[in-house]
Amino acid sequence: MKTYDNVNQFWIARNSWGPGFAQEGSFKVAFGVASVLSPGDTFGVVFKPSLAAPKRPPPQLAAAPTLPNGCSYYQAVPGDYLSGVADRVAVPVEKLLLDNRDTLRDLDSPLAGKRLAVCSIGVSPAQPAPAPVPAPAPAPAPSTPPAASVVAPSLVRSLPSDSRTAQLRSLLGFKAAIDRQGTLAWSAERAANAGYCSFFGITCDTQGNVAKIEFNQVKLGGTLPPASVLRDLTALTGVELDTTGITGTLPTDWGVLTQLQDLRICRNSGITGTLPRTWAGLARLKVLYLYMNKLTGTLSPEFGTAWLAMELLSLSTNSFMGPLPREWAGMSRLRTLHLYDNRLTGTLSPGFGFAWPVMENLLLSNNALTGPLPREWAGMGRLKTLYLNTNKLTGTLSPALGAAWTAIEALQLSTNAFTGPLPFEWAGMGRLKTLHIT
């Protein structure tokens, strides 16, 4: 609102969209006083274009010695908005966002007073590498699409040219397989001087090597390439393809990508087939998310003796069948295991109890598991969440669990066939907030 006309009793409101969306001007707004409206006015709102809209000052670009050649600073003034600045300095808005991702963390805050780096295509401002972000729990909540990394040109140029060429070749091969929709603007032209580090979805390490490929809720629609396409990305430790519309099966030869530590291929209903036994070769995996796909088959016992670094494993909402292999007790670093909404059968191995001492979140609900809840599971002293509801479990509830599960907050045991009393010793679960045994 700009002002209020006390004589004619209406408000004057400025058009807030800016010249990039509509003509500058003002609105005349009257509330319940129809007599003040001009002929033809309706609903108490009239848009009156400014006859002589004030001109905005020209872009305030200043050379800055701290930026590489091809870059300068723009000093934002009151009334500036992001797309307008991008248009005026002739830079794509996504590049302006990328080059100023630290300055523009809060997109709702005004631009006025902020100093923005403006760089030509193929040039990026030198910025420190972002601090590593801890891996989140595998809840199926959408996350923010990743921004590309920025690598200092001097470091990028220090890479041997054959290494840059090989990594670019791998990325373009990956795009050819994964991006049937033509969403990604990756090309050899844009990758001059190892510019692939500025590709959307790519994160590089401080040496200019591709470290992560991450797409979340980006429509791609292709298939996963064979491991040979990625063989030259020797520093690649993370791949995320969450809600991307990809189809096909999990490549059996990906087991040779032994440098991978974080692999998330989830919420893609076109992903079918099995979880290949050959993936036991991914011995450095700490995080594996394959939830909400259409995977089938059994769970290989080999993973239990191979994935010794695994911490977060989510295979929920698929159609896996057969038992939960007792060999999986070998994953002693597991903190989260999600296997709910599958077709698992068999009993719960007592050996998991003391083999998973750091387990915090164990979700096995909506399967067809049988047998008792082992008293040996008292060894999971850090449990915070245990969901076993909607199975076919039987037997009594062990009093020993009450004295051991002192950290537990949510316990779901409903829709089973447990018998006997609710042990008095379970009063020791002092942090318990939710208990379902219906």
Query: Domain with 93 in it: what CATH number?
Result: 3.10.350.10
Average pLDDT, the chain: 80
| 212 and 239 Cβ atoms separated by less than 8 Å | yes
Q: Which domain holds residue 153?
A: 142-303
Whole-number pLDDT of residue 261: 98
Instruction: Please report, rounded to a whole number, the percentage of residues in the chain having pLDDT higher than 70.
Output: 70
Residues 71 and 45 in one domain: no
Is residue 251, in this structure, part of any structural domain at all? yes
Q: Which DSSP symbol is given to 302?
A: H
Please report which confidence band the pLDDT of residue 254 belongs to, taking 50, 70 and 90 as the band edges: very high
What's the structural domain count of the chain? 3
Q: Which of 196-210, 281-295, 374-388 has the lowest mean pLDDT?
A: 196-210
Q: Which of 87-91, 301-305, 365-369, 432-436 has the lowest mean pLDDT?
A: 87-91
Residues 293 and 146 in one domain: yes
Residues 45 and 66 in one domain: no
DSSP per residue over 192-256, as a string?
TTTGGGGSTTEEE-TTS-EEEEEEES---B-BPPPGGGGTT-TT--EEEEES---EEE--GGGGG
Residues 159 and 14 in one domain: no
What is the residue whose two structure tokens read 């669990």?
A: 401
Residues 65 and 90 in one domain: yes
CA distance 312 to 287: 5
Q: Of 368, 371, 372, which is closest to residue 397 (Cα–Cα)?
A: 372
Q: Answer yes or no: is pLDDT of 85 > 50.
A: yes
Residues 115 and 253 in one domain: no
Residues 66 and 147 in one domain: no
Is residue 349, in this structure, part of any structural domain at all? no
Alpha helices in 71-196 (DSSP H): 82-88, 93-99, 153-158, 161-178
When pLDDT is averaged across residues 339-366 and rounded to a whole number, the result is 98
When pLDDT is averaged across residues 132-157 and rounded to a whole number, the result is 43
Whole-number pLDDT of residue 146: 46
What pTM was computed for the model? 0.67
End-of-domain residue from the set 270, 303, 336: 303
| 198 and 121 Cβ atoms separated by less than 8 Å | no
| 244 and 293 Cβ atoms separated by less than 8 Å | no
Q: What are the residues facing 61 on neighbouring strands?
A: 74
| 406 and 431 Cβ atoms separated by less than 8 Å | yes
Is residue 257, in this structure, part of any structural domain at all? yes
Is residue 419, in this structure, part of any structural domain at all? no
Query: Domain with 261 in it: what CATH number?
Result: 3.80.10.10
Convert the pLDDT of each residue in 90-125 to its tens digit.
666 666 777 777 777 665 567 778 888 877 655 566
End-of-domain residue from the set 303, 338, 365: 303
Neighbour tally for 94: CB within 10 Å:
13
Is residue 68, in this structure, part of any structural domain at all? yes
Residues 93 and 204 in one domain: no
Residues 216 and 247 in one domain: yes
Residues 38 and 97 in one domain: no
Is residue 36, in this structure, part of any structural domain at all? yes
Top mean-pLDDT range of 119-123, 195-199, 274-278: 274-278
Residues 160 and 285 in one domain: yes
Whole-number pLDDT of residue 428: 95
Q: How far is CA 414 from the centre of its chain?
A: 32
